[in-house]
Structure formats: structure tokens, C-alpha cells
Amino acid sequence: MHGLVNRSIQCFLRDTYGAELWVKVASEAAIPAAGFEALLSYDDGLTDAVIVAAARRLGKPREALLEDVGIYLAGLEPLRRLLRFGGVDYVDFLQSLDELPERVRLAVPELDIPDLVLTPAGAGRYTLTCRARHSGFAAVFAGILRAMADDYGALVLIEAGTEESDPASVSIELLEARFAAGRHFDLAGPARS
Amino acid sequence: MMDGNPHSDTALLADTDLGRLMPMYLWVAPSGHIRSVGGTLAKLCDGFALTGMRFLEVFEIRKPARVQSMEELRALAGQRLHLALREPPRTPLRGLVVPLQEGQGVLVNLSFGIAVADAVREHALTNADFAPTDLTVELLYLTEVKAAVMEELAALNRRLQVAQRAAEAQALTDALTGLANRRALDQELQRAIDGMERGSAGFALMQIDLDYFKSVNDTLGHGAGDLVLTLVANALRAATRRHDIIARVGGDEFVLILPGPIDEAMITRIARRVIDDIEQPVVFEGQTCRVSASIGVTLSRFYDRPDADWMLHDADAALYASKRRGRARCTIYAPGMEEGETDGPDCGPPEPDWP
């Protein structure tokens, strides 16, 4: 798994639950406490070991933990901005998700994120399908979609697929596109010094 | 626009639709007056209405040629234009002119150049200010993502560099005393020799062997031995200059490189100070340890072509001459010393006053 994915989980655990928890999880997963480098690649088994160890320590289901990772990621300003480039409103953003893997590849060619397909499912309803090597991505995207709805000021119901339905899918129901003001987005970020 | 066009096969287009296709277009009449503009371009020039103004009074065309008149502008049709707003912030733009049918003037389409992010920031443009077919927003996305990735790469490189420096320092340092180790000495000695080819003033090579160290180690243990070695290292640091190299190359063996124009008298002074310092009694867990040092020295100027192994060998021969003569002294190398024929100048005390 790419270091960016591993480091995302690491930073989520550290920022949300404290460095102490991260050190325990790292030790349980048999990785150095310094953790992952964002631009190197690691064995998939390490990612699973971290997720399993963290879920057990926190007493949380794995899917809920991964959904929180998604919410955390969309709350990081640089990532939020990159996601907001996708569209002018939430529906536009949803429509742009098919392009997201291609956008990611433009940025980091080695980062293998799942193919995303958005299918309309009736008025204001959509299904996002994540076809990935790793089964955890759908839950992470459910979290990202939830956080981005707040960012755009849209009122939505998001439900990650279950084992019974389809674990690789997320269902989205748009209740109100402009429910709240949403957060501000400038197309060009602040000038870098 | 283009109403009244007599040709039935020409596409007719309303101003608003033209603006949707090209949000930064201008329609310029044959007189040079602007007849209509796209919405994004209008936003660029907020504060004044473009319609009715003279195109060449608002925009300055810089390349491929300066343009003064509509005739000159028409002549540049089809070429890439570099132009800018005449008023601050003087946003740089790219453009293309196409002539319209007789009497209709020209159509100019503009875009931002490579400094698009500055322009977007300056004029507070949004996604909606660009045509859906335009890749400008993707360019902004890429600029931003590239900066983030580069920052992460730079941070990774800094971490690797720190780790590499630490590993290098570790590989060249004696862990107990913090002095240079054998590997570092070999590098520095070669560097000193190479320096002579570039006209440096030469150097002295000083080999120091502790006397009676083995008995300290054997009777009082390694703890005492380590303490003695640490204090010897301090004594050597105190007796030398900042740019001298001090290396611990074996259990109780040290080698110094003393660069610069150095003569026998200076060597004698340094050696005496080193021996005096090392002979200071050391108390370890209530027990007194006493050691001394034997020293052998050779100078780079003794050699036509100095060689590291050769010089180390000669310094060692001088060291053994010191040992033969009763230890606690310094000997400067002289030819034939290896066989014990000549013992060279003796810089030590006339008789060892200790132990």
C-alpha cells in the first residue's frame, strides 16, 4: 500500500487519539514508532495490521474507523481544497468522482486508488462503487463524502455498503443541495512565499 | 452579433452564447471600439466598462509586434499574441485575433498565460468563470498538488540527509572517546597528503601509545580503563589546536595529524604537555591509576613523495624507539631507526621519573 494511505491512517490515529495510542498500535503492528514515510510504498499486510490493531484498541468496528479516516482526511485543508477542485456544488462534485483516480494519478502516479463509478439511482439518489484491491476504500470514501457534504453545505444521507448488500458501494441520498452556507473556497490558494 | 449577415450558411451566435464558449472574448469594431466582451474578461476590468472603449487603449500588445492600429492588429490574425492590461494589475494575457466578415471588425479571444494562478487570485475568479471545456482549473489543481508533493519530498530528503549525516558521523567516530576512528584517520591522512600536492605547508604525524594501560585494565577493570581513555582523549584535545586531527586507532593507541608548518621544537612542546597531562593520576572508585605515554613522530617534509603507510610505519618506528629508551618520551623519526641503529632526537625527559 502506498505510504500516503498508511501515513493517512497514522496521522488520523495520532491527531485524533494521541501519540500514545499510535505508539501502541505501531508496536502491535510491528512497525517502527516513527511510522510510515508518505512517499514510499509498503506491504499491504502492514496496513491491515495497523487497522486491525487500532480497531481493537479503540473497540470500534473496522468500517467505522475507516469512515472516520475519510472524515479526517477531508478536514485537512490542503486535501479539502484538492477535493473542492472537483466541482462548484455537491452534485457537481459527485459527478467529478469518476475523474478522481485520474486526478490522483496526475499528482502521485504510484498511488493506486480504486476506480470510482457514480451511478444515478432515482431522484437525488446515487450509488458510488469503489472497485479496489483493498476492501477498506468504500468506508473511507463514505467518510469523505459525508465531510464534503458539510463543506458544500449540502444535506445528505450516506450509507456505506454492508457485507449483505455490497461492501464496495456507498449509497448517497441528497436531501437538500443548499442546506447551509458551506465553507468558502478560493480557486487559487494563498500565494506561496 | 453578426445579425444582418447576408450569408445564410454562417452560424449565428448571440453575445451571451459567445461568452459561454469564450468567457474572455472581445468583439472589436473596425473603428477599434469594443462592441462586446465575455463575462470573465469584464470581471478582469471591473471598475470600468469595456464596451465602447478602444481595444488598443485598454490592452497593450507586446508580441509578436507592437500594434498601433486596427490594420496592424488584423495583420496578426492567427498568431499567438502576448498582451497585457494597460492598467494595474497589468495582468499578462495571451490572445488570438480572427478577422470577421467585411465591416464586422475582429474577434479576439484571450486567456491567462503561465501565471494563471496569480491572475485567478488577483481577480478572485471562480470555477464558473472558465468554460467547462477549459483545463485551467485542472492546471490550478496540478499546481497545488505539485507544491504539496514537492514539499513532502523535500521533507523526506531532509530526514534522509539528517540520518545519513548521523550514520556518516557514527562511522567515523570512536564511540567511547568521541575522537576520530581508524577509518576517519585514513581519510584525513590521505587528505593531508593530497593537500601537499596543492601546496599546503605539510604536517606532522604523531603516534601515541599509552604505557602501563594494560595493567590498569587488568587490575582495576574495564571501567577504570574506559575512564583513563576518556581523560586521555580530553588531554589530547586540550594540547592540540582546533584543526588538528585526533584519532583513537586501537585499544590504547592514538594518532594525531598536526597540519601546518610545524618544527621539532613545537612537537617537543606538544609532546611534553601531552605526556604531563596523561601522567596526572586518575582516581577510579578510590583507587589511583597511573599511566604515561610513548610518542613517535614523523614529518611530511622528510619525504619527497609522502605516503600514508610509509609515514605511519616511520612514526611507529619512532614510537618504539621511545619505548626502547624507557617510555614516557617522544622520538622524532630518523632513517635507520627501525633497526635500532640510531635513535634520533630524544624529546622526552632525560630519565623517566615515573613510575
Interval B65-71 mean pLDDT: 91
Is the pLDDT assigned to residue B339 strictly greater than 70? no
Which CATH number applies to A88-176: 3.90.1520.10, 3.90.1150.10, 2.60.40.10, 2.40.50.140? 3.90.1520.10
pLDDT digits 0-9 by tens, B162-198: 999 999 888 999 999 999 999 999 999 999 999 988 8
pTM above 0.90, yes or no: no
Contact partners, residue B3, CB within 8 Å, separation at least 6: B12
How is chain B split into domains, by residue range? Answer: 15-132, 135-171, 182-339
pLDDT value, residue B352: 40
**How large is the average pLDDT for residues B333-340?**
76
Give per-residue pLDDT as tens, B110-148. Answer: 999 888 888 888 888 888 899 989 988 888 888 888 888
pLDDT tens digits for B188-243?
999 999 998 888 889 999 999 999 999 998 999 999 999 999 999 999 999 998 99
Given a cut of 60, whether residue B276 has pLDDT beyond it is yes
Higher-confidence position of B102 and B24? B24
Whether B183 contacts B242, CB under 8 Å: no
Q: Considering only CB atoms, which chain B residues are within 8 Å of A85? A: 137-138, 140-141, 144
Q: Which of A187, A192, A193 to mutate to test the interface with B (most CBs of B within 10 A)?
A: A187
Q: What is residue B117's predicted lDDT score, i.e. its pLDDT?
A: 86
B281-333 tens-digit pLDDT: 999 998 898 999 999 999 999 999 899 999 999 999 999 999 999 889 999 99
Which region, left, alpha or beta, applies to residue A89 given φ > 0 means left and ψ of -120 to 50 means alpha?
A: beta
Q: Is the pLDDT of residue B354 over 60?
A: no
pLDDT digits (tens, 9 = 90+) for B78-111: 999 999 999 888 889 999 999 998 889 999 999 9
Q: Which of the pair, A177 or A130, is modelled with greater confidence?
A: A130
Bin B16: left if φ > 0, else alpha if -120 < ψ < 50, else beta. Answer: alpha
Over range A10-31, report the average pLDDT.
94
Q: Give the distance from residue A123's alpha carbon to the nearest chain B alpha carbon, in angstroms.
A: 24
State the pLDDT confidence band at B351, using cuts at 50, 70 and 90.
very low
CATH code at B182-339: 3.30.70.270
pLDDT band at B6 (very low <50, low <70, confident <90, very high): low
Q: In the predicted model, is pLDDT for residue A82 greater than 70?
A: yes
- Distance from the A77 Cα atom to the nearest Cα atom in chain B, whole angstroms: 11
Domain B15-132 and domain B182-339, same fold? Reply is: no
B118 is annotated as an active-site residue: no
Query: Looking at the predicted structure, is the pLDDT value of residue A102 above 60?
Result: yes
Percent of chain A topping pLDDT 70 = 97
Q: For residue B350, name the pLDDT band (cuts at 50, 70, 90).
A: very low
Nearest to A85 among B137, B147, B153 (CB): B137
Q: How confident is the model at residue B346 (pLDDT cuts 50, 70, 90)?
A: low
Q: Are A158 and A145 in contact (CB under 8 A)?
A: yes
**What number of residues does chain B have?**
355
Instruction: Indicate the helix (H) or strand (E) that contains B108.
Output: strand B106-112
CATH 3.40.640.10 for domain B15-132: no
Active site residue: B129, B174, B211, B252, which one?
B252
Is the bond into A78 cis (omega within 30 degrees of 0)?
no
